[in-house]
Structure 1
C-alpha cells in the first residue's frame, strides 16, 4: 500500500461492489463468502459503511471538534466540549470518530455491517444496544461472533479497551489489516496531517503515539 492509500487520500486499492460501498480489492472475495454463508443461515448481511476517504473523515472530525456536530460520551450522553481542554476534546471525538489519515476504513479492510431485514421498520442507529441481547441485530451479532473468524474477519472494537467505544458491527479483515497497521507509521501520519487543514493539528501531532496504540493498532 502506498502512503496515500494507507491514509485514505487514494482509492486505487478499492473496488466498489455496490453504489458507494468500497472494499479493498483483496477483501471482496472473503466478504462475499461471508455474506453467502450468512444467507444460508437466513441472514441478509449487508454493509453500512466500507471505504471512507480522508476528506470525508476530515469533515466529520473537524465538525465534531468545532462543535458543529454533537460529540457523545461512552454512555451516549452529549459532551459539553467547551468545558474540556483541547486534549480532552480530541479524545472525546476519537471515542466514536477516527482521526483522518488513521481510520481503518481508509484501508478498505474494515466494514460496518447489519441485516436490514431485522430492523422491522426501525432506523439503524449503529449503537451497541441494537446488537446486544434483545436488540434487533442481536441474532446477527451472535452469528457473526460464531462465524467471522473462519473467513478471516474479527472485531477490533468488540469491547471498550480505553480507546474506541464498543462497535459490535465493525468487522476487520485480519490478514490485510494486520499488515496495514504496521505500515501506518508515526512519520507517515505526521506528514499526512501537516499537509491538511485539520483542527488542533499541533496538539494531535503531539498525541500521535498514544492515538495509534489506543485507537488504531489493536489487532487481537
Structure 2
C-alpha cells in the first residue's frame, strides 16, 4: 500500500516511527532494515549514524524560501558562494535545486531516505560534519571507511545511493541512502501533475518560475537518480 499525498509530500509524519536511539523518523520497514545494517556494520568495526531522516514540507519550504531570499548562502556547482543580487529568477531556481530539493519533492519526505555518517571521528573533538563529498570519497575523509563499507553491503539491506554521482541534476551525495523497496513506489506516485498542484498552493518564493519549469524540474531533479545502483 502506497503513501497518501500528504505523506508523500511531507505534510504529515503519520507514516513514520521514531528510532529510539537516534531521534529520527523513518517508515517502520526502513527503520528495521537500517538497524540491522547498523548492527552488522558495528560487528565489522564500522560506526553508522543518521544525520538526517524525515524532513517535513514545512522545513523544506523554509530552506527553499531562505535560499531564494538570500538569507542562506546560495552556492554554485563548485560550492562557491554566489551573489544573489546578480541572479535572475531562473538562475536562482537551478542553483537552489542543485543542492536542495523542491518542497514537496524531497525524498526525505517519504521516510525512506536518510543521510548517514560515521560519528566516531566527531566524538570529543571540534571536528564538524559538513556533508560534502570529500568527507566520504577521499581516503583521508572522516567517513571514508563507512562509505566503502556501505558501497559493498548496503544493497543487502535494501538500500542504494540515488545520488551516487552527479548526472546533471542533484549534486553528488555519497551520504544519501534510499530504501528501494519503498522509495521506488513513492517515486512513481509523485507525478508532475501532483507536484504542480501542490506548488500552486504553497507560499513559496519564485512560485511562477517554478511552475514554468515544473516539467523539467520533475524530470531532471526528481526522476533523475542513479537507478543502476538500486538493489
Q: TM > 0.5 between the two?
A: yes
Tell me which of 7, 32, 36 is aligned to 1:5.
7
Structure 1 segments of 4+ aligned residues over 3 angstroms from their partners: none
Give the distance between the partners of 1:178 and 1:212, measured in 2 at CA: 15
Unmatched tracts of structure 2, length 5 or more: none
Instruction: Say if 1:48 and 1:113, in contact at 8 Å, map to a contact too.
Output: yes
In the other structure, the counterpart of 1:21 is: 24
Q: 2:33 aligns with which of 24, 30, 35?
A: 30
Taking the TM superposition and a 5 Å limit, the aligned residue runs for 1:173-212 are 173-212=179-218
Correspondent of 1:82 among 54, 61, 85:
85
Secondary structure (helix, strand or coil) at the match of 1:108 reads coil
TM-score by length of structure 2 reads 0.92
Task: Name the SS for the 2:51 alignment partner.
Answer: strand
Counterpart Cα distance in 2 of 1:67 and 1:207: 21
Question: 2:96 corresponds to which residue?
Answer: 93
- Residue 142 of structure 1 corresponds to 148
Q: Given that residues 164 and 226 in structure 2 are in contact (C-alpha distance below 8 angstroms), is that contact kept between their aligned partners in structure 1?
A: no
Which residue of 144, 153, 159 maps to 1:153? 159
2:133 is aligned to 128
Q: 1:97 to 1:191 in 2, by over 3 A?
A: same
Task: Tell me the SS of whatever aligns to 1:198.
Answer: coil
- Give the distance between the partners of 1:98 and 1:8, measured in 2 at CA: 12
Q: TM-score, normalised by structure 1?
A: 0.96
Does the CA-based 8 Å contact 1:43-1:140 persist in structure 2?
Answer: yes
1:43-87 deviation per Cα after TM superposition (whole angstroms, max 9, x unaligned):
121000000000000000000011010011222110122222211
Distance 2:122 2:136 in 1: 11
CA distance in 2, matches of 1:95, 1:209: 16
Structure 2 residue aligned with 1:162:
168
Structure 1: unaligned runs, 5 residues or longer: none
Q: Does 1:67 align with 2:99?
A: no
Q: Distance in 2 between matches of 1:26 and 1:150?
A: 14
Matched residues in 1 for 2:218 and 2:178: separation? 17
Which has the higher mean CA deviation after the structures are superposed, 207-216 or 106-115? 207-216
Task: Confirm or deny: 8 A CA contact 2:98 2:169 kept in the other structure.
Answer: yes
Tell me if the contact between 2:47 and 2:146 (Cα under 8 Å) persists in the aligned partners.
no
Deviation larger for 201-210 or 161-170: 201-210
Aligned-pair CA distance for 1:40: 0.8
Listed one character per residue, the Cα deviations across residues 155-196 of structure 1 (whole Å, up to 9, x for unaligned) are 011111111111100000011111001000112112211221
Stretch of structure 1 that moved more, 98-107 or 119-128 = 119-128
Alpha-carbon contact 1:119-1:137 (below 8 Å) kept = no
